[in-house]
Structure 1
Amino acid sequence: MASEGLTDTSHPIIVFDGVCVLCTANARFVLKYDRRGHFRLAAMQGPVGAGLMRAAGIDPTNPETLIVVDGDRILRDSDAAIAIWRELGWPWKIAAAANCIPRPIRDSVYGFIARNRYRIFGRLDQCWVPTAEQSQRIV
């Protein structure tokens, strides 16, 4: 990925749906509780996020997942969510215990929520805009 010039790969990047209410709430949650500043975030509607989604083989205009790009490694679906929780520290780290659930079950639940996220949680009219302080971690 780094060779593609898409972005700095020194921090894992969470690529999320910037118009999904649930997804943007999760992005704000990460910005608040990732006290070490481990993650960077990119909306899939922006050039960096869309490029990373395409590099992962996902259509950024019709996604049903978020991804975490960590160097050359791309995590998606429940694996991506668990990787995020694992890095947030206590008490959020305990949610990574979901890794004990077999992936087909985790991904089925994740997929159901992802496919229905707009209907269940809503859709924003435009991409979420971070505060000036938060914007340092947005790529």
Structure 2
Amino acid sequence: MKENWKDKHIVFFDGECGVCNFWVQWILERDKNDRFMFASLQSGFGQKFLSERGLETKVFNTLYLWKPGKYYFTKSRAVLQIANILGGIYKLSVAGKIFPPVLSDQVYDMVSRNRMKLANQKCFLPDRDQKKKFIEV
């Protein structure tokens, strides 16, 4: 397994969701400082992350951002934190923190419930360099 994941921000996503895969690609293209790695929630690594925290292991409707030994964020807060870490113009997303999580998570949940309808179901295949950023075990 790639051990460098311990120094990265890990994005856990639904590997069977076209919308989720779109956003993984979006992050990959903007991660110029190599700060992120990715794991599907269905993977062994994703399942271990969920079970160790007593989180749902069968229904995958939540994005998680985890910095090992530091924190993990869910839903809208994970999205805002990812944008903040990417930096540049995306740091402006910090303005989204003025909304309480209960409100921003309602919007997140609405998108999550409808994501399969929104998704272009094309399969995402990472290139060789991008593949190094995925944790599968």
> Same fold judged by TM-score > 0.5?
yes
Name segments (4+ residues, structure 1) moved above 4 Å: none
Q: Find the aligned partners of 2:18 and 2:27 in 1 and give their Cα distance.
A: 14
Gaps of 5+ in 1: none
Pick which of 79-88 and 42-51 moved more: 42-51
2:62 is matched with: 65
Is contact 1:68–1:80 with CA below 8 Å preserved after alignment? yes
Q: Find the aligned partners of 1:109 and 1:56 in 2 and give their Cα distance.
A: 24
2:73 is matched with: 75
1:134 aligns with 2:116: no
Report the TM-score when normalising by structure 1.
0.84
Give 1:98's aligned amino acid.
G
Give 1:50's aligned amino acid.
Q
Identity %: 23
Pick which of 33-42 and 53-62 moved more: 53-62
Report the TM-score when normalising by structure 2.
0.85
Q: Find the aligned partners of 1:48 and 1:74 in 2 and give their Cα distance.
A: 15
1:93 is matched with: 91
Give 2:41's aligned amino acid.
M
3-state DSSP class of the match of 2:7? coil
Is contact 1:66–1:77 with CA below 8 Å preserved after alignment? yes
1:24 aligns with 2:17: no
3-state DSSP class of the match of 2:88? coil
The offset of 1:122, in angstroms, is 5.1
